[in-house]
Amino acid sequence: MSDSTETLTVDLRDIHKQFYGVKANEGVNFQLRPGEVHALLGENGAGKSTLCSILAGLYRPDAGEMIIEGEPVVFKSPKDALAAGIGMVYQHFRLVPNLTVAENLALGHHNLGVMVDQKDLQRDATQLGERYGLPVDPTARIWQLSVGEQQRVEILKLLYRDAKVLILDEPTAVLTPQESQSLFSTMRQLTDEGRSVIFVSHKLHEVKQVSDRVSVMRQGQMVGEIDTADAEPKDLARMMVGRDLELPTRAEDDSTGQPMLVVRDLRVPGDRGLESVKGVSFEVRSGEVVGVAGVSGNGQRELAYGLVGLRRPTSGSVTLDGVDVTEENVLEHIRQGLAYIPQNRLGMGLSPGLTTEDNLGLKAFREAPYSKGRQLVPAAFKSRGKDLIEQYDIRGVVPGLPIRLLSGGNLQKALLAREVEMQPKILIARSPTRGLDVGATEAVRNSILRERSRGTGVLLMSEDLDELLALSDRLIVLYEGEIVGELTARMATAERLGLLMAGQRDEVAP
């Protein structure tokens, strides 16, 4: 640990990197100045992590130059990069679960055989944590920490090695809004000292809030670099996607529709027999989107299972358009007008081995005109599949090929197409855009809003607060299996939701 505040300039020139023919980076230029937060923005697969991993010494570029402080460098490993002052927090953390925080800080840093005093290590960890607003117990073992705390340890690890350039790859993906804000102030403090931060994200408002400059990547190429102050979110989105986005707009509505889903004092067991949903009551009306917010693992999964007939509730009731389906199986729920978009598209939603057309027809095949008596009518079935593929812009379909070969975004479009075509009364969707790129996300969100305008009641369960805030008319927050708050769209802010998600009911004024 040192108090030096030297800074580094980084200049990446014409970087190329392929993986088995996939051009992950194609002639990328990137400059980093001392003391800046430089956002790296781009859709999934744009090549951001690859570029960062090259700078951090994890990958070697196929071609191109890396110039640090005016000198060309070649990194053979992340160790070399760290020695030059560059370190990265990866999307998947690399801590050793069974070691303590302090031990993880020292790991790989001190030479083998050198005895490092545990007390010294712990003191260093505490001091660093206090100085940079990264509080964590140095004696805790990694497996005992929350994801947010583990991320702090990763950052402390870099600071313990006195990194001048910190690369954070999608750090906010695993944080609550409050944790993100606290990370942003840590980032500010680092840059105030002359260090620089590369902040990878695809969330426009975060980039706008925290960065000084933005570089945008698309399909392996750098498409632009701009001072954040001059960057309109709309322009950044266009750079990222390569076309104008039709951002979903939700017509204001007073939601006076009929209640389509009525849930009363519902209790649902968890996997180990303990109760996971502990008496929740709410309604979803025709033509409204009700968002369910919560940190993952607070009963969302069990609530969904209880609502769609995958798990028998222990008490309470679920009513679909006036029909009590509490004790019924999944098929009966579907008959009563329920559509479900599960979190695991291939596990529960689609049949991986069937073709896209067959998957699209799975729910309709019992009805005319797709079957006559007990006979399927293949021509009708096929043409329905074709129509849906076109209508929902499902790309990459090859006749005869199993659906599992489609990309995540196209799988989700197929799933939505199939569910929505059944003209459901209630649509329950869990994290419907998770892992999708901006284009597919837009398509999925617009489908959901179209359902809302058609009069479907939508229950949207998501960990993405932006999504919840953009689509919901009302929001309920689940915490430890209970509803700890309900907010109208007008009242809901990321901050209020974040407090409720952390169980701080009292701090949110009604």
Ligand X SMILES: Nc1ncnc2c1ncn2[C@@H]1O[C@H](COP(=O)(O)OP(=O)(O)O)[C@@H](O)[C@H]1O
Q: What is the DSSP letter of 143?
A: G
**Applying CB under 6 A, which of residues 27, 45, 269, 270 lies at the interface with ligand X?**
45
Query: Cα separation of 340 and 433, whole Å?
Result: 14
Site for Mg ion contains 201 (CB under 5 A): no
50 binds, among Mg ion, ligand X, none (CB under 5 to 8 A by kind): ligand X
**Applying CB under 5 A, which of residues 25, 32, 41, 49 lies at the interface with Mg ion?**
49
3-state class of 387 per DSSP? helix
19 binds, among Mg ion, ligand X, none (CB under 5 to 8 A by kind): ligand X
360 binds, among ligand X, Mg ion, none (CB under 5 to 8 A by kind): none
Query: Cα separation of 471 and 130, whole Å?
Result: 39
| Residue with Cβ nearer Mg ion (47 or 313) | 47
| Residues 6 or more apart in contact with residue 317 via CB below 8 angstroms | 262, 263, 264, 265, 266, 324, 326
339 binds, among Mg ion, ligand X, none (CB under 5 to 8 A by kind): none
Query: What do you get for the CA distance between the two ends of the chain, in Å?
Result: 47
| Residue with Cβ nearer Mg ion (45 or 259) | 45
Site for ligand X contains 48 (CB under 6 A): yes
148 binds, among ligand X, Mg ion, none (CB under 5 to 8 A by kind): none
Strand partners, 13: 65
Query: Cα separation of 148 and 146, whole Å?
Result: 5
CB distance 202 to 44 below 8 Å: yes
Residue numbers 2-21 binding ligand X by CB under 6 A: 19-20
**Applying CB under 6 A, which of residues 50, 172, 215, 441 lies at the interface with ligand X?**
50
409 binds, among ligand X, Mg ion, none (CB under 5 to 8 A by kind): none
3-state class of 338 per DSSP? strand
Query: Cα separation of 186 and 171, whole Å?
Result: 12
Site for ligand X contains 24 (CB under 6 A): yes
| Residue with Cβ nearer ligand X (49 or 151) | 49
| Residue with Cβ nearer ligand X (55 or 334) | 55
Residue numbers 437-496 binding ligand X by CB under 6 A: none
Block residue for tokens 């260093």: 124
Site for ligand X contains 47 (CB under 6 A): yes
In b/e form, how buried is each residue of 304-331, taking b as 16+ CB within 10 angstroms?
bbbbbbbbebeebebbbbeeebbebeee
| Residue with Cβ nearer ligand X (237 or 499) | 237
Site for ligand X contains 42 (CB under 6 A): yes
Query: Cα separation of 492 and 482, whole Å?
Result: 18
**Closest distance of CB 497 from ligand X, Å:** 27
Block residue for tokens 């196209």: 410
Query: Cα separation of 91 and 88, whole Å?
Result: 9
**What residue number has its CB nearest to Mg ion?**
49
**Closest distance of CB 218 from Mg ion, Å:** 14
Q: Which positions touch Mg ion (CB under 5 A)?
A: 49
Q: Which positions touch ligand X (CB under 6 A)?
A: 19-20, 22, 24, 42, 44-50
